[in-house]
Structure 1
Amino acid sequence: MLNRSLNVLIAAALLSGSVMAVADTDGQTRVNGLLSSSPEYRQTWTSVVKKEERLPDWVINLSGTSEPMTAVTEKGDKYMVGPLCETADHCLNERLIVAFSFDKKDAYAMLVEVPAGLPADKSPTRHADYRFIGKPNEGMQTLLKEQLKKDPNWY
């Protein structure tokens, strides 16, 4: 009887763990999973960041906290675009907006930095520094900035 109860408890624990794992992997593409999902993404991103100087490791490795990416079109070309932050706590002060072409051959990004300790009544937009990565043209720069504006905490 004790063995049966123990087996039921173990089965329940394993099942609940499986359910939680499924909830964490919602099947949506996120910036922090791109480099491990495809060698093409890794190759493209590596070629983009090797031309840049003094980037944080989380930007070079596309590691950190990320939300699902969305599909957008810029002058007829389709891109997957999404945000990345080193940690959720630092997202207001430092974030990266990344765009990859659907064919995985082009990548662009915008690193946004806001001074730490900015009072709540000060607009982050007016105090932010923007650094474009991958030499995006004017249209792509606008697209990246528009993605940033979708954040309700960005004003």
Structure 2
Amino acid sequence: MSFSFKTLTAALLLGGSTLAMAANDGQARVNELLSSDPQYRETWQGVVHKEERLPEWVMNLSGDAQQMNAVEEDGDKYLVGPLCETAQTCLNKRLIVAVSFDKKHAYAMLVEVPAGLPADKSPTRHAEYRFLGKPDEGMQALLKEQLKKDPNWY
């Protein structure tokens, strides 16, 4: 039992994400954000309320999601993770979301790849990117870097 505790403590210290980890046991997912805290809901509504033609799953952050990770950008800490409309359509429609630990800022990158793209065609060359929340260049780079972590993204 103490080994698990030591491992967890080391992971928390190394990750520099004790606040987020302690708050949600490291299991935060994008599709649970809006229901987990009213401040996240308010911040996200501020991001999407003036956007046009956003799909319902983006507006509501509903769909298939993986665990979020704590990352740092320009001295600020964020929870970042992917959201897909469905697990089956993830290569074609996905959203990479970043929310600040203080819950006051949220950014996202909507990535759309044409359906039916042949397997020998690189999704990166055919993707359309749409940024939400007016991210600066550093945040745009962070969101793109998260996308590159997907082994199916080349």
TM-score by length of 2: 0.83
Distance in 1 (alpha carbons) for counterparts of 2:50 and 2:149: 29
Q: Mark the runs of 5 or more structure 1 residues left unpaired by the alignment.
A: 1-25
**Matched residues, percent identical?**
79
Aligned partner letter, 1:102: F
2:144 — aligned with what?
145
Distance in 1 (alpha carbons) for counterparts of 2:35 and 2:78: 18
2:111 — aligned with what?
112
Q: Is residue 2:39 matched to residue 1:40?
A: yes
Say which one has the larger Rg: 1
Distance in 2 (alpha carbons) for counterparts of 1:116 and 1:49: 25
**Matched residue of 2:88: which SS?**
helix
Aligned partner letter, 1:34: L
User: What do you get for the CA RMSD once the two structures are aligned?
Assistant: 0.9
Aligned partner letter, 1:87: T
TM-score by length of 1: 0.83
Shift in Å, 1:130: 0.1
**Matched residue of 2:120: which SS?**
coil
Aligned partner letter, 1:82: G
Distance in 1 (alpha carbons) for counterparts of 2:92 and 2:26: 28
Write out the 4+ residue segments of structure 1 that deviate beyond 3 Å after TM superposition. none
1:99 — aligned with what?
98
Counting only pairs closer than 5 Å after superposition, residues 28-107 of structure 1 correspond to structure 2 as: 28-107=27-106
Aligned partner letter, 1:85: C
**Matched residue of 1:141: which SS?**
helix
Distance in 2 (alpha carbons) for counterparts of 1:101 and 1:35: 14
Q: Compared with structure 1, are the counterparts of its residues 75 and 64 closer, same or farther at alpha carbon in structure 2 (3 Å cutoff)?
A: same
Shift in Å, 1:142: 0.2
Q: Compared with structure 1, are the counterparts of its residues 79 and 27 closer, same or farther at alpha carbon in structure 2 (3 Å cutoff)?
A: closer
Shift in Å, 1:51: 1.7
